[in-house]
Structure 1
Amino acid sequence: MSEHATIVPRENLDFGLDGDIPKYWMDNDPFKTRFFDAMSTLFPMGEKFFITSVREFKDQITSPKLQQEVKDFTRQEAQHSLVHRQYNERLKKQGVEIDAINAQIETRLFVDAFKLTTPVQRLAVTSALEHLTSMMCTSFFERRELLDKSDSRVRALYAWHAIEEVEHKAVAFDVLTQVAKAGYWQRNLAMLTVSFGFPLTVSKIMNHMFKVDGFSRWQRLGMWAKGLWWFYKPGGLFMPTLGYYLAYYKPGFHPWKLKEMPSYGTWLRTFQRTGDPIAAGNALHAAGQ
């Protein structure tokens, strides 16, 4: 566990998001595209919540190493929020109600959650969501076919986000277990909660996007039937991630017991050589199985 990726904040990256990115940038498929687009709408407020949840315990952290990791985690998450806000402006121009979505998520995370939960519970939710994010990042970029027919600029955005999620995947967990002293059942109850709440939130936003796109009720039902099969069929989007997901529930679990994505080094070397996140994203994608 001592040998793992180093947290490196990377700022002022240009993904060409002001360019002529197709509306349905993933395989010309509305469902697949809107799944990733819906997640993007959640990231700005979500990343702010993660930062806030971790920083609520910063004065209790005595380890210099963990203190630095929290600072680097904060810088990375702030950049993710910034770039996804830029991406979400594209969606706003398409008619997606980004401001309303942000307002709803902000109320849920920074008003309701602060009334109904403790700082430890909010940190447990953050740790669980960080595990789900790392799971998706690692698993999606292991399989080249998933993002094969996607716009290279958006794919590069998600590749960069994935790399940094892998780098800081243990920070919230370490603060939760080492500083907040949360136990096994507390962290796992939070995981069960977000395992239901997160997909429901994403699906509601996707359905809003489908309505904005002009699809009828019957068209949307057909898209959901086909899309859910893509999600959950054997070998689909999520079934191969099951082992990664379930690992969180094991006694003695730690995020660094799960290896980072196999092609992590490929992205890192390409970015260090070129300084181009799109070239690095292409290299990461090409290295998938």
Structure 2
Amino acid sequence: MNTSNPLMVRKLLVDLSQGFPRHWLAGKAFRTQFFNALSMSFPVGEQDFIDSVREAALSLPAEADHSSLRATIQDFIGQEATHRRVHSLYNAELEKQGLVNHWQYWTADQIELGRQRNIPALSKLAVTAAFEHCTAVLADLTLRYPEVMAGAEPMLQTLWNWHAVEETEHKAVAFDLYRTLGGSYKTRLRWYGYAMLRFTVMATKQTINNLWHDRVLFKPSTWIDAARFFFGRHGLVWLTAGPLFGYLKRDFHPWQHDNRELAEQWLASNSEQYAIVRGLAPVDLAA
């Protein structure tokens, strides 16, 4: 399966400095603070993804057979670096609204612990591949079911859809690199379990913390919204369970679920929302 296709690095044309409403997602506190929590994880988390892919890529054999994958890795780094920058601006506005980003410190502590324990580069890459799959599943949900973002403030709806498009485009990069370097099925599953547990715990803790600072943690409407968000007709649990468990298959590959058409449709319909910047100075994998 040839999945090492070139990626576009894009600049998102939204102005986050103008701010946005506290409950920007249809006025609903819970789902707003859930997405805010996800944003809080991205600057540190996506830098870690970049670092793990860059480190592992140094072990790629020099043969020309891997030139396509090397080029795609550069594009992956470019896209993730752009996500990191945009979500840093997003998170700065959340701080102005009184929210406190704990997730960035939890992630930094986990990264430092991995360094102290000398976790192998291939294992760190397995963690990145796992998180990339989780992100890709949520991205597919965002693009496939408009109900998820119905009523959102237009600027943030654009931001999350743009992010979902690019997560879809590069969802196989870390996985392909892991497979090319001979990563085992057993190791892939072990680190997937770790990543999913870590994501679930941290997303829950940060969302609750956001709701606390938003002063809506104990409002019945908050938890009614939470129940609908996770267990309603288009609930997160029902829509993500199958794809998330699909990662456990021995023959799994991200592009067995080919949803590139969703990304292409959004890009074609929203070309005024971004500018293509790919083709600037190349990314140095050894930097």
The interval holding the TM-score normalised by the smaller chain is: 0.7 to 0.9
TM-score, normalised by the number of residues in structure 2: 0.87
Which digits, 9 at most, give the CA deviation of each residue in 1:15-57, with x for residues without a partner?
1212252110001011010000000000000101101111112
**Structure 1: gaps spanning 5 or more residues:** 279-289
* Inter-CA distance 16–246: structure 2 relative to 1 (3 Å threshold): same
Who is 1:287 aligned against?
A: none
Cα distance in 2 for partners of 1:8, 1:138 equals: 18
d(CA) in 1 for partners of 2:3, 2:56: 25
Letter of the structure 1 residue corresponding to residue 216 of structure 2:
F
Residues 186-212 of structure 1, C-alpha deviation per residue, up to 9 Å, x if partnerless? 111111122221021011111111121
**2:273 aligned with 1:276:** yes
Aligned in 2, Cα 1:103/1:197: closer, same or farther, shift over 3 Å?
Answer: closer
Report the equivalent of 2:68: 65
Matches within 5 A, 1:160-179: 160-179=162-181
Match of 1:74 in 2: 77
Where 1:238 maps in the other structure, the secondary structure is: helix
Q: Which amino acid aligns with 2:250?
A: P
Which aligned segments of 4 or more residues in structure 1 are displaced greater than 6 angstroms?
none
Give, in whole Å, the separation in 2 of the partners of 1:101 and 1:245: 22
1: CA distance, partners of 2:190 / 2:171: 19
1:12-31 superposed matches below 5 A: 13-31=12-30
Structure-1-length-normalised TM-score: 0.86
Any residues of structure 2 matched to 1:1-289 within 5 Å, and which?
A: 1-2=1-2, 6-11=6-11, 13-62=12-61, 63-98=66-101, 100-109=102-111, 111-116=112-117, 117-179=119-181, 181-215=182-216, 218-219=218-219, 223-224=222-223, 226-233=225-232, 235-260=234-259, 262-271=261-270, 274-277=271-274
Once the two structures are TM-superposed, the CA of residue 237 in structure 1 deviates from its matched residue by 2.0
C-alpha contact (below 8 Å) 2:169/2:260 kept by paired residues: no
Give the corresponding residue for 2:283: none
**Cα distance in 2, alignment partners of residues 97 and 144 from structure 1:** 29
Distance 2:215 2:232 in 1: 27
* 1:235-259 Cα distance to aligned partner (Å, 9 max, x none): 4123122222122111211111111
Spell out, residue by residue over 1:64-120, the C-alpha distance to the aligned partner (whole angstroms, 9 max, x if none).
01111111100100000000000001101011223x5433321222x1122233222
Contact kept, 8 Å, 1:5 with 1:166, in 2: the verdict is no
1:78 partner letter: A
Partner letter of residue 29 of structure 2? P
Local SS of the residue matching 1:71: helix
Length, aligned pairs only: 270
Q: Which fold has the larger relative contact order, with Cα–Cα distance below 8 Å and residues 6 or more apart in sequence?
A: 2
